[in-house]
């Protein structure tokens, strides 16, 4: 993918994030990666959404994190995004938000459990919460270490099957094949978090759905036997 | 009803569903039935709402489930709809959603109780939750079996008096005399689910309303002694 | 007030009710009274809000409840409104809604407690819940008896100071000096009900505000020593 | 700052408050201060937002509270604003709202705890609740005394680091360097209150975030080592 096309795609995903209602003010950011060029494009830091353009998206090196071609600072969360792109090879786009319900789950330090088919249609298991960062990890290279604890949380999980995480006391990082898919997933994560709040009010002891139901819904939409939607031409 | 008119009606009901705010992205689907022609018309699978038209609604045989006249796949939930049309003879339209509060009730595995007049104006009793599907029922003919457990849940209930159900760990299926009435009912179901969440927060031990109140409200609007609204001309 | 002006005012209040977001579909109704003419004007039963006009508001006799000049049925709740106008002499307009949070309080059978200044600015004390209707009261003259249990709930309360009530397992009836003030109060009632839900989540044991605070806020806005707002010219 | 510019800024901030969705009807008010001129400009009392203009903002003396140049009454909360400007020297603008979730926290009498990075990005610690006013404090000079109990609540807190407070059984007062920043903070306060409601539902025993995380986020955005956003030119 050319850099120009990547910037357009990252810009568009940032605007869709704004329209989705998941972000207040300048909160949140979306990035995308060019695996061949080893480049990451991300929203500039603290710039209001209505001042964004494809041109002011910031390009940094995936390897070094250095800004390639901009006078603007990239999002302060850039080192987190970079760690995720380095560890999760199939990930093409990443979103970070403080969306209301998902961030509340992160503050409550509870995973978004896989309690139904809406969840299993997109996430093959609970959306985990990271461990707390240690003092030294926070004080030096905080944003990079945030990326590393996310990667740690996926030691025994597959980031393609569960493309989201809650950073403890912070908020969700969500990813996908490309920046727009990542935003799509972030909207789903917020929706699932809302259902967790309501269902925990109604019946905190509700049983988990059987595994076969989760398998059915996940694999109805993913993998070689998927049969949801229209045949790709 | 001619097929063209049925397609128009199913299309319109799908658009009303989208406008109602009950659905995210491509979630949800509405169908309608032509009892004389033994035909069911339903939303195509995974197509965004703004690409829908009366023409791309998919027509299938009520008996066999075979697509009659389309290159598009019908909603993957079509076999569920078919079972409901087969068992509930007075049902003219069906909606399936993952609407936030009703789906949360389904995940909490609790019925939407008849706790007041808003409920009794439309539903003559609790909106039930289905049992869990067994492993074999999920692995083979999942969508058809989803229909069958709904029918099972109505063994001792009248589907005309309670035109809605929560499928365990999934979400609501709602029906009515025609596709638009089904959507109307789906909006009410979501509203009732919201009230259940709020009321269970305020007072989980609140007493049930007396039966005579439920009778009064249901029969004020339904049956031969109804006196709500204007005289039909 | 002339009948034409009353119809215009009741129509306008019904439209403001619709715009307030408190009503779904045809739920809810507003009425107004002409004390000199002994007339009540109210929304027709079951007619969608976008088909309302000043002309199709229905006029009934305050004394007999008979329709004066219309082919349309008045709201089925008309006999409730009439009882309130008969008992609460200072009441000029009445609204009935099933607004989400207030109706949830009615289903939870709990009053909206006076827990702060937002409440005390408009309501001088808890908004009460009626008792349940008895079987005979429901089966005969249900709507009239609903009015009578509301009046009963105000035996030791002042309807001018607390212009709202929750009918058990039903929803709020709210009133004011005129139809638009009644709608204004209905919006406040819904807002207060929302705060009760949130605050009961956060701290169900929260202490009541001191009486002097309630007095201060209520009398800052009401009565001869009021000093809120601009001097009336 | 000239008076004309201050009035324009206070007017604009009041309109942003209205657009933010934090206020119902005429609830809420924003003020700004001219430290050199010893003047405070504030919304007139009880005037609907759509009748506001830069010209009808009311100017009062910071020292005496006397109206300088208007026939309109200033907001009845003016004496509260004045006490805050007198005690909090760095404060340039103040907002008072009854916003739904923050006012519910005030009614629940619980602080908005610093449970995550969204909070620590703006507020360096819990947002406190004032003590109750005594009877004498309420009956005489109520609004001035409201200001004084707020100041009392900050005896051992820094009002620049925690620019918000919940007045017990009333609602939030929020401030900032200028009127628009104050409104910005009021929106954040409401958002944080929402997260407290949701998180307390999900897990009331959730641990506090470590102090180093709070330090990191607060000082990433504030003070001499801030590195969030773009370099100021």
**In chain D, how many H helices and how many E strands?**
8, 6
C117-133: per-residue pLDDT in tens? 999 999 999 999 999 99
pLDDT of residue C233: 53
User: Is C230 part of any domain?
Assistant: no
Mean pLDDT of A185-195: 98
Taking the mean position of all CA atoms in its chain, how far away is CA B160?
Answer: 11
- Say whether B122 is catalytic: no
Q: Is the pLDDT of residue D233 over 60?
A: no
User: Is C228 part of any domain?
Assistant: no
Mean pLDDT of A55-70: 96
Mean pLDDT of A7-11: 98
User: Is D232 part of any domain?
Assistant: no
User: Is C119 part of any domain?
Assistant: yes
For A115, the closest chain B residue by CA position comes to B107
Least Cα distance to B9 among B23, B38, B30 occurs for B30
User: Is C232 part of any domain?
Assistant: no
| Domain tally, chain A | 1
pLDDT greater at residue C232 or residue A209:
A209
Please list every residue in chain C whose beta carbon sits closer than 8 Å to the beta carbon of residue D196. 202
Identify from A118, A120, A176, A225 which residue to disrupt to test chain B contact, counting B C-beta atoms within 10 A and taking the largest count. A118
Q: Which has the minimum average pLDDT: C45-49, D56-60, D61-65?
A: C45-49
What backbone torsions phi and psi does residue D29 show, to the nearest 5 degrees? -165, 150
For D140, the closest chain C residue by CA position comes to C216
Mean pLDDT of A150-176: 98
Mean pLDDT rounded to a whole number for chain A? 96
Question: What residues in chain A have their Cβ under 8 A from chain B's Cβ atoms?
Answer: 115-118, 184, 187-188, 191, 194-195, 198-199, 201-203, 206-207, 209-210, 212-213, 215-216, 220, 227-231
Please list every residue in chain D whose beta carbon sits closer than 8 Å to the beta carbon of residue C194. 100, 104
Q: Is the pLDDT of residue C1 over 70?
A: no
**Cβ separation of A109 and D206 shorter than 8 Å?**
yes
pLDDT of residue D228: 80
Residues D163, D176 contacting (CB under 8 angstroms): yes
A89-116: per-residue pLDDT in tens? 999 999 999 999 999 999 999 999 999 9
* Residue A61 token pair: 């090196």
The DSSP bridge pattern shows strands A171-176 and A164-167 to be antiparallel
pLDDT of residue A228: 80
Task: For residue A60, give the CATH number of its domain.
Answer: 3.40.225.10
Give the sheet arrangement for strand A58-61, strand by strand: A58-61, A39-42, A29-34, A93-96, A171-176, A164-167
For D20, the closest chain A residue by CA position comes to A24
Q: Is the pLDDT of residue C152 over 70?
A: yes
pLDDT of residue D120: 98
Closest in B117, B188, B230 to C47, CB measured: B230
The C-alpha of D72 sits at a distance from chain C's nearest C-alpha, in angstroms, of: 7
Give the active site residue among B69, B71, B101, B121.
B121
Please list every residue in chain A whose beta carbon sits closer than 8 Å to the beta carbon of residue B45. 228-230
- Which residue blocks in A41-175 are alpha helix, DSSP H? 78-87, 100-108, 117-120, 135-139, 142-153
- Report d(CA C176, CA C32) in Å as an integer: 10
- Show Cβ contacts of residue C94 under 8 Å, excluding neighbours closer than 6 positions: C30, C31, C32, C81, C84, C85, C173, C174, C175, C179, C182
Identify from A104, A131, A198 which residue to disrupt to test chain D contact, counting D C-beta atoms within 10 A and taking the largest count. A104
The residue behind tokens 């029969």 is: B219
Largest CA distance in chain A: 53
* Residue D142 token pair: 């109520």
Q: What is the number of other CB atoms lying within 10 angstroms of the CB of residue C70?
A: 15
Taking the mean position of all CA atoms in its chain, how far away is CA B1?
Answer: 21
Three-class SS of residue C113? coil
Query: A230 pLDDT band (50/70/90 cuts)?
Result: confident
Segments in chain B below pLDDT 50 = none
- Report d(CA A29, CA A23) in Å as an integer: 9
Mean pLDDT of A30-51: 96
- Report d(CA C176, CA C174) in Å as an integer: 7
User: Is D226 part of any domain?
Assistant: no
Q: Which domain holds residue D138?
A: 3-219
- Report d(CA C114, CA D214) in Å as an integer: 36
Please tell me which chains touch B, using 3 or more CB pairs under 8 Å as the contact test: A, C
Least Cα distance to D41 among D80, D88, D78, D16 occurs for D78
What is the percentage of chain C residues whose pLDDT exceeds 70?
A: 98
pLDDT of residue D130: 98
Mean pLDDT of D115-126: 98
Question: What residues in chain D have their Cβ under 8 A from chain A's Cβ atoms?
Answer: 115-118, 184, 187-188, 191, 194-195, 198-199, 201-203, 206-207, 209-210, 212-213, 215-216, 220, 227-231
Mean pLDDT of C141-147: 98
Query: D225 pLDDT band (50/70/90 cuts)?
Result: confident
Mean pLDDT rounded to a whole number for chain D? 96
Question: What residues in chain A have their Cβ under 8 A from chain D's Cβ atoms?
Answer: 24-25, 27, 44-47, 72-73, 76, 98, 100-101, 103-110, 132-133, 135, 138-139, 142, 168-171, 196-197, 200-201
Q: What is the number of other CB atoms lying within 10 angstroms of the CB of residue A212?
A: 17
**Cβ separation of B202 and C110 shorter than 8 Å?**
yes
User: Is C140 part of any domain?
Assistant: yes
Mean pLDDT of C199-228: 94
User: Is C226 part of any domain?
Assistant: no
Mean pLDDT of D17-39: 96
């Amino acid at each position: 993918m050319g850099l120009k096309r990547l910037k357009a795609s990252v810009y568009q995903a940032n605007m869709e994030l704004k329209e989705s209602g998941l972000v207040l003010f300048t909160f949140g950011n979306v990035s995308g990666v060019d695996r061949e060029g080893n480049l990451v494009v991300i929203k500039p830091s603290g710039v209001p959404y209505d001042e964004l353009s494809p041109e002011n998206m910031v390009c940094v090196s995936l390897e070094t994190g250095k800004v390639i071609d901009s006078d603007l600072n990239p999002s302060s969360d850039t080192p987190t995004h970079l760690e995720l792109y380095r560890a999760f090879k199939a990930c093409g786009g990443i979103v970070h938000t403080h969306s209301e319900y998902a961030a509340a789950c992160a503050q409550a330090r509870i995973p978004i459990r896989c309690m139904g088919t809406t969840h299993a249609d997109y996430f093959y298991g609970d959306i985990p919460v990271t461990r707390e960062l240690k003092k030294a990890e926070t004080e030096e290279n905080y944003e990079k270490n945030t990326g590393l604890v996310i990667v740690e949380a996926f030691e025994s999980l597959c980031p393609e099957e569960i493309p989201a995480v809650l950073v403890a006391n912070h908020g969700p990082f969500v990813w996908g094949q490309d920046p727009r898919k990542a935003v799509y997933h972030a909207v789903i994560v917020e929706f699932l978090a809302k259902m967790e709040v309501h269902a925990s009010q109604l019946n905190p002891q509700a049983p988990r759905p059987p595994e076969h139901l989760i398998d059915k819904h996940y694999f109805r939409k993913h993998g070689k036997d998927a049969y949801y939607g229209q045949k790709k031409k």
